[in-house]
Structure 1
Amino acid sequence: MPFKPQDQARCPKCSKAVYAAEERLAGGMKFHKACFKCGLCQKYLESTNVTEHGGDIYCKSCHGKKFGPKGYGFGSGAGTLGMDTGERFGNTESEMSNRPTGDAFTAVKVASGGASTGPKCPRCGKTVYDAEKAIGVSTPWHKSCFNCKSCKKSVDSSTMAMHDAEVYCKTCYGRNFGPKGFGFGQGAGTLSMG
């Protein structure tokens, strides 16, 4: 039986026959070298950076932006935090895409009492997420809020003192709430009675 052109694999992008000399493989499909481009940014792909999703191919970066997790703590690189929903890439399936913005966001926040589930920071009253939580204290605080109320010096669990649900460095705590009188509140080893 002779070989017929219609028996040849077809490129999913241009629907033309793909011959062995020009084929690129991804997701069990054969593409032309010229058609082997990201469905969003149009960069040419290689076997090391191609990702298939729903019959189309993407570079790993665009695939992550369009189909990856969205919301606080997810971004496009190590150490980045972002609220990118991927809308500019055509992503409409993210729950973040449906969140209100601007005045509508403020109205929803006010209507719900600003309520977001999770523990609240005693200083600013906003939700404390694990990524921003101060370590070493039983009550959740934002790292940025966990400083001395008087002098704003950074403190940790070994250099802090609590008073009326507020954090102070030991020096300010002693100055404001420690014993009063001659020889007190001047620092360690300065107590004198003479």
Structure 2
Amino acid sequence: MSETPSVCHKCNEVIENRIITALGKNWHPEHFACKDCQRPIKEATFNIQSGEPVCSECFVSNYSGTCFGCKLPILERTIKAMDQSWHEECFVCAGPCKKPLVGTSFYERDGKPYCRIDFEQMFAARCFGCTKVITENAIVALNGKWHRECFKCKKCQTPITESTFAVEDQKPLCAACSG
């Protein structure tokens, strides 16, 4: 009982001697070639486009994106974020922490990604009372933003909830302390 002869995927002729098996197909070694430049692929690794082999050189020039972070070609996994392509290791917080952002939520400012903590520390509004970051609703008064709990009378420290109040040294005063 003889085996069915192997047929080359490119030329459809029987392969007698050396054989390359790749992409679920058999090839004469000289026919296992880049679909773009037609040169035989001799490297152990190659790329695939539309089910056909592509040499590394053609892949870089014809198919790979350029990393927005490091400006080098992307030959492996591509991260798409902010309408750009990134190497996985290049998609990191632009703030001081430089933490990886792959698989996490992030904030964008001026075309750069930031983790929540760095973004808030660098760009969020700060309370006029305590100077800490305001991440939720704020009271806007006296040319600034305030945490609700920080907008209190300068003298008695009672939170000011009325829409009218007095001002002393750019600090609010409740009706009782101002009268």
Instruction: State which structure, 1 or 2, has the greater radius of gyration over its C-alpha atoms.
Output: 2
Task: Tell me, yes or no, whether TM beats 0.5.
Answer: no
Shorter-chain TM-score range: 0.3 to 0.5
Structure showing the higher strand proportion among its residues: 2
TM-score of the two chains, using structure 2 as the length reference: 0.41
Structure showing the higher helix proportion among its residues: 1
